[in-house]
């Protein structure tokens, strides 16, 4: 039996989801129905015994992402919403799938099969990293950036560096194109794979795949040499950070 929690503030959508679930999956038991960010935080903070969460993104008192930020709960989530603008964010918060309203049987069935396949894989292989750890540690592969009025899905493997200037965070890709990011460097640092991205100083985060090398600078600092020409960015690693940077490069 799969114990499921539903987070949804629209009664018709809630009833439709419950009805659709009962028609396609007899092994799912809905153990809680929550309707707000506040109520969900209070409930999930008690670490309930649940296997799967179905959650709307936009609730009456905020985005459901805040629930997972505050509780640190690591239960797989299938997000359900009327908008696709949050799709990339969803996979940062235990998301294993993202469905658009109105939910159809076919798409819901595929999402449930995905959950079962993930669960079966980690159970059968008895791996050190189980399903929840996989979800919690799964680093994002893309991010949303802006260029003018356009929102662009940018592959992180194409990002050369992030930098901040006048409290604005910019992203530069391998082709030298510049975009705007909607998060500060500290937030990005916590989300990015630290084997690939390194916080060189207060102003820069760099991608190791675009680092040609480094050299001494003012005796105790390091200057990073990037493979992408004409960036006009002098990236200096401080004396305090230099040992961690050398280790990062050595372990790459």
Q: What are the residues whose beta carbons fall under 8 Å from the beta carbon of 79, sequence distance 6 or more? A: 55, 56, 57, 64, 86, 90, 95, 97, 98, 99
B/e letters for 193-207, b = 16+ CB within 10 Å, e = fewer, are: eeebbbbbbebbbbb
**The pLDDT value given to residue 222:** 94
Q: What is the DSSP letter of 156?
A: G
Q: Which helix (H) or strand (E) holds 31?
A: strand 28-34
Above 90 in pLDDT, residue 69? no
149 shares its domain with 179: yes
**The pLDDT value given to residue 47:** 81
**The pLDDT value given to residue 193:** 83
97 shares its domain with 185: no
Give me the CATH number covering residue 206: 2.40.50.1020
Above 50 in pLDDT, residue 186? yes
238 shares its domain with 113: no
Radius of gyration of the chain (CA): 21
Three-class secondary structure of residue 149 per DSSP = coil
**The pLDDT value given to residue 126:** 47
165 shares its domain with 232: yes
The last residue of a domain, from among 137, 153, 186:
137
100 shares its domain with 24: yes
108 shares its domain with 157: no
**The pLDDT value given to residue 121:** 55
Mean pLDDT of 1-6: 90
Provide long-range contacts, Cβ within 8 A and 24+ apart, for 204-208: 204/161, 204/162, 204/163, 204/233, 204/235, 205/161, 205/162, 205/163, 206/160, 206/161, 206/235, 207/156, 207/157, 207/159, 207/160, 207/161, 208/248, 208/249, 208/252
The last residue of a domain, from among 106, 137, 168:
137
pLDDT band, residue 64 (cuts 50/70/90) = confident
116 shares its domain with 196: no
Give me the CATH number covering residue 54: 3.40.50.2300
Above 50 in pLDDT, residue 70? yes
The last residue of a domain, from among 83, 112, 137:
137
**The pLDDT value given to residue 76:** 86
Question: Which domain range does residue 182 map to?
Answer: 142-250
**The pLDDT value given to residue 150:** 87
Question: How many domains is the chain built from?
Answer: 2
Above 70 in pLDDT, residue 131? no
| Of residues 73, 25, 36, the one with CA closest to residue 51 | 73
Mean pLDDT of 94-99: 80
85 shares its domain with 13: yes
100 shares its domain with 10: yes
Mean pLDDT of 145-162: 90
- The mean pLDDT value of the chain amounts to 84
pLDDT band, residue 151 (cuts 50/70/90) = confident
175 shares its domain with 112: no
**The pLDDT value given to residue 172:** 95
pLDDT one-digit tens code per residue, 190-228: 778 888 999 999 999 999 999 999 999 988 899 999 988
80 shares its domain with 176: no
173 shares its domain with 126: no
**The pLDDT value given to residue 189:** 86
Rounded Cα distance between 21 and 116, Å, is: 14
pLDDT band, residue 128 (cuts 50/70/90) = very low
Mean pLDDT of 74-90: 73
Looking at per-residue pLDDT, the higher value among 23 and 130 belongs to 23
């Amino acid at each position: 039996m799969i114990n499921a929690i539903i987070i949804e503030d629209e009664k018709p959508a809630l009833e439709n989801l419950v009805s659709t679930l009962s028609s396609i999956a007899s092994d799912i038991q809905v153990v809680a129905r929550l309707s707000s960010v506040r109520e969900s935080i209070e409930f999930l903070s008690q670490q309930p015994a649940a296997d799967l969460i179905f959650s709307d993104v936009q609730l009456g008192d905020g985005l459901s992402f805040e629930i997972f930020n505050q509780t640190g709960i690591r239960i797989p989530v299938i997000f359900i919403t009327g908008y696709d603008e949050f799709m990339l964010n969803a996979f940062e918060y235990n998301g294993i799938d993202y469905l658009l309203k109105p939910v159809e049987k076919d798409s819901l069935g595929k999402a449930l099969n995905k959950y079962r396949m993930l669960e079966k894989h980690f159970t059968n292989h008895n791996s050190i990293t189980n399903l929840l750890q996989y979800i919690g540690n799964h680093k994002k592969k893309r991010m949303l950036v802006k260029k003018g009025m356009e929102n662009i899905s940018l592959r992180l493997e194409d990002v050369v560096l992030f930098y901040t200037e006048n409290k604005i965070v910019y992203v530069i890709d391998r082709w030298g194109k510049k975009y705007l990011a909607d998060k500060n460097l500290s937030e990005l640092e916590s989300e990015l794979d630290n084997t690939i991205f390194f916080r060189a100083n207060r102003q820069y985060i760099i991608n190791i795949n675009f680092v040609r090398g480094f050299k001494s600078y003012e005796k105790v600092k390091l200057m990073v040499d990037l493979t992408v020409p004409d960036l006009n960015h002098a990236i200096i690693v401080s004396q305090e950070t230099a040992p961690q940077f050398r280790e990062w490069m050595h372990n790459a």
